Amino acid sequence: MKKLAFAALAACLAGAPALAEEVTLRGVSAFAGGTTFSRPFEAFVAHVNEIGKGVVQIDYVGGPEAVPPFELGNAVSGGVVDIANDTSAFYTNLVPTGDALHLATNTVQEQRANGCFDKIDAIHQEQMNAKFLARTGDNVAFHLYLTKPIEGPDLSGLTIRTTPVYRAMFEALGATLVRTAPGEVYTALERGAIDGYGWPLQGVMDLGWDEQTKYRVDPGFYQVDVNILVNLDRWNGISDEARAVLQQAAEWVEAKNAENIAINAEEASKQAGAGIEVITFSPEDQAKWLATSQEAGWAGVAAVDAAIAADLKACLVE
Ligand code: 173
């Protein structure tokens, strides 16, 4: 090993192209291993480890037990973690306009084609020292889940578990909000500390929340963003070949976002099987629900940075 490093250094000094050594990146997910929103990342890791042999490998260290979800942004920003699977809602401390990402109505493929992806990447590079490598979660909407029924889009008197994803909307509809990591939702429900929670259509059953959930409010709103981020210094320090492997695997995992449409249908029927009833509002109330989600969501981003909000809205909402 030492000899090899010396040989590489010598080759480098002699001006000859150095034999790039295989690099290993330490990877962590903000979601528990094997659960819905870690799955695309886990497939990405397996793919990189297959196509990147001799060039780049990922050592998947683990999930929230390795790094607490709301700390993962700092960990990848500072280089404690090289590559992270994280949602923008968990790192708003670093990229406060990241809330725009879940307001997208188009796909990541469209965002790559219309230049939006590069803008989002530039914001991540500048504000959190991270390369925005890939986005998963397209086609999966968020919902409100409840332990008691509601009649319409009035959440006053309800205490709801939230993350920045739902904050602006649920606040506008009068809810009292408590932010928790996913790992704390079950206990909060069990203790009656919350009357419900925001969560995507997929994954409710992963941590047993169906046992404590009576209702899902339809329609869903927004679109999940679970992103693969690489520490920028690490990204800049690896070979072109390693970066190309990661880019290729990024677009490969993004192509799998289309599978979410079929998975959504399976999940909805599993929830029904677990006894979760669907609350559907009147057409006027549905319109209010959805209009509030968009208006409150974009107002929240504009309050942070009006110029970025306008720029991203133009390429995320088509
Ligand atoms: O509800 C959440 O914890 C959240 O914000 C989220 C975001 C993306 C996927 C899953 C959950």
The domain ranges of the chain are: 2-139+224-260, 142-222+267-316
Which string of DSSP letters, residue by residue, matches 100-160? Answer: GGGG--S-HHHHHHTTHHHHHHHHHHHHHSEEEEEEE-TT--EEEEESS--SSS--TT-EE
| Distance (Å) of CA 114 to CA 11, 111, 251, 254, 290 | 42, 5, 15, 16, 25
From 29, 92, 142, 201, the mutation candidate for ligand 1 (largest count of ligand atoms within 8 A of CB) is: 142
CATH T-level fold of 142-222+267-316: D-Maltodextrin-Binding Protein; domain 2 (3.40.190)
Categorize the per-residue pLDDT at 20 as very low, low, confident or very high, splitting at 50, 70 and 90. Answer: confident
Categorize the per-residue pLDDT at 15 as very low, low, confident or very high, splitting at 50, 70 and 90. Answer: very low
Residue list, ligand 1 pocket, CB within 6 Å: 37, 87, 89, 163, 165, 182, 198-200, 224, 226
From 85, 165, 216, 267, the mutation candidate for ligand 1 (largest count of ligand atoms within 8 A of CB) is: 165
Q: What is the pLDDT of residue 261?
A: 98
142-222+267-316 has the same fold as 2-139+224-260: yes
Are 85 and 226 within 8 A, CB to CB? yes
Looking at ligand 1, which atom is closest to the CA of residue 226? 8
Ligand 1 centre from 89 Cα, in Å? 7
| Strand, helix or coil for residue 219 | strand
Q: What is the pLDDT of residue 11?
A: 47
Q: What is the pLDDT of residue 19?
A: 66
- Spell out where 147-239 has E strands: 159-162, 176-179, 196-200, 215-221, 226-231
Ligand 1 centre from 87 Cα, in Å? 7
Tell me the average pLDDT across 30-57: 98
From 135, 138, 224, the mutation candidate for ligand 1 (largest count of ligand atoms within 8 A of CB) is: 224
Q: Which CATH number fits domain 2-139+224-260: 2.40.50.100, 2.60.40.10, 3.30.750.24, 3.40.190.170?
A: 3.40.190.170
Tens-digit pLDDT profile for residues 73-96: 999 999 999 999 999 999 999 999
Ligand 1 centre from 47 Cα, in Å? 24
Looking at every residue in the chain, the average pLDDT score rounds to: 95
Tens-digit pLDDT profile for residues 166-208: 999 999 999 999 999 999 999 999 999 999 999 999 999 999 9
- Examine the predicted complex and report whether its ipTM is higher than 0.90: yes
Categorize the per-residue pLDDT at 5 as very low, low, confident or very high, splitting at 50, 70 and 90. Answer: low
Are 134 and 44 within 8 A, CB to CB? yes
Sheet holding 23-29, edge to edge: 56-62, 23-29, 83-87, 226-231, 130-136
Protein residue with least CA distance to atom 1, ligand 1: 199
Tell me the average pLDDT across 228-244: 98
Are 260 and 138 within 8 A, CB to CB? yes
CA 223 to mean position of chain CA atoms: 10
